[in-house]
Amino acid sequence: MRQKEISLNIQPINPLDDQDEEHILTSWNTPLREDAFAVSDDEKVEQIEKRFREIMEILGLDLNDDSLKGTPRRVAKMYVKEVFSGLNPKNKPQARLFENKYKYDQMLVEKDITFYSHCEHHFVPIYGKAHVGYFSNGKVIGLSKINRIVQYFAKRPQVQERLTVQIGKELQRILGTESVAVVMDANHMCVASRGVGDTNSKTGTAFFGGKFEEENTRREFLNYINSK
C-alpha cells in the first residue's frame, strides 16, 4: 500500500481566532491555574478517584461489580501519573547537548515519532506521528530526548496546534537555534468516535522556524518525511 503523503498548506495561525464556537485557542501555553500544584500528585489521585466514582454512579453503574469497583482508582492514577503527567513541570525531560564534533551542517530529521495525547475539549484521545528537524548551531541533542520532549507536551489536555508550537519552541530554546521544524499528523477521536463520526480524516499541523522558513529547505524536509 502506498504511504499517504503529508501535504500541508500552512497558513499563519492567530491564537485569538475562534476555531468554531466551541473550539477556542487562547494561548500557546497550556492554561493552568496558579495553584495547579498546590497539592501533591497522591492527593490529586484521591480527589479524582472520589469524583470519578460519583460520575460513574450518576451514570447508573454498579460499583459493587468486580469489574467496575476498581475503575475510579485506575482512572485517577492514569490521569495523574500517565496520560496527563506532562502538566507537571517536574516531569519535563532534562535535555543534554553534545558538541557537534562531526561539523554536520545539514538538516537532521527524526520522523514517525508516535505520540498519544487527549483533546482538551472532550478528553478523548489524539494520536499520530510527529516529525522533527533542525540545523545544528554547534550543539546536537540525543535522539531519544526528541521523543521524550514530544511525549512530555503530548501528555496533557491539548489542541494539536498548541502541541505543535510547544514542541517547536522548546526545541528552539534547548538547541539555541531558530532553525527547527515540527510536523504532526494525527487522528482525533472526538471526530471519529462522536459528532460527525469520520474515521478516515487526519489533521496536519506544522511549525517552521529559521532556515525552514525558506521554501527549498521546507520542501526538502517535507519530501524527506514523506519518503519511505
Active-site residues, by number, are: 119-122, 160, 188, 190
How are strands ordered across the β-sheet holding 157-158?
157-158, 108-119, 125-134, 180-188, 203-208
DSSP string, 88-145: SGGGS--PPEEE-TT---S-EEEEEEEEEEEETTT--EEEEEEEEEE--SSEEE-HHH
**Closest among 159, 155, 32 to 83, alpha carbons compared:** 155
Contacts of 175 (CB under 8 A, 6+ apart): 97, 134, 136, 137, 139, 141
